[in-house]
């Protein structure tokens, strides 16, 4: 079982620009996939992430509900929890990745640098610790 899950989000990172960049440290983590955000704006995209849904692959002829069920079930592999089968029901009713992870013994922390994702917004709910980074706070946000 994994001891830690680290989820890095590069807001506004275009796939073509990222692929053209030299990213040896990130490349050492694993392969890059072309994925699409659920929204074109930061806050709604991150709300989808915090529901446990990674950016989608935009697969043709796939119903969104089927993609969501499959993506949520992938947490089984991500955390290596063989004790029980992870499904959509594990995320309900809160639809919160931090709440789900906390329910199975993880500590959920977030360190953000975008003012639209701050401790006073609903996205901060269910985290053990949620912090807007100091450089953003110094700007009066």
| pLDDT for residue 29 | 84
Contacts of 137 (CB under 8 A, 6+ apart): none
| pLDDT for residue 88 | 80
What gap in Å lies between CA 129 and CA 123, rounded to an integer?
12
**pLDDT by position in tens, the chain (length 141):** 456 777 777 777 788 998 999 989 988 988 888 888 888 888 888 888 888 888 888 888 988 888 888 888 888 878 876 666 787 888 888 889 999 989 888 889 999 888 888 899 888 999 999 998 887 555 555
| pLDDT for residue 109 | 92
| DSSP symbol at 63 | -
Q: Domain locations in the chain?
A: 15-137
> What string of DSSP letters covers 2-49?
-S-------TT--HHHHHHS--HHHHTT------B-SSSSHHHHHHHH
| pLDDT for residue 41 | 85
| pLDDT for residue 99 | 92
Q: Which residues pair with 130 in a beta bridge?
A: 110
Half-sphere exposure of 25 (CA within 13 A, CB side): 1
| pLDDT for residue 124 | 92
Two structure tokens written together for 47: 């709300």
| pLDDT for residue 113 | 85
């Amino acid at each position: 079982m994994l001891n830690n899950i680290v989820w890095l989000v590069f807001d506004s990172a275009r796939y073509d620009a990222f692929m053209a960049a030299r990213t040896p440290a990130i490349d050492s983590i694993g392969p890059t996939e072309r994925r699409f955000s659920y929204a074109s704006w930061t806050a709604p995209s991150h709300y989808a992430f915090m529901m446990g849904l990674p950016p989608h692959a935009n697969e043709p002829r796939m119903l969104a509900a089927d993609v969501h069920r499959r993506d949520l079930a992938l947490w089984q592999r991500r955390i290596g929890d063989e004790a029980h089968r992870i499904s959509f029901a594990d995320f309900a009713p809160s639809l919160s990745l931090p709440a789900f992870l906390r329910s199975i013994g993880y500590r959920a922390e977030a360190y953000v640098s975008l003012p639209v994702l701050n401790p006073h917004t609903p996205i901060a709910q269910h985290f053990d610790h949620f912090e807007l980074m100091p450089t953003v706070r110094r700007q009066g946000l």
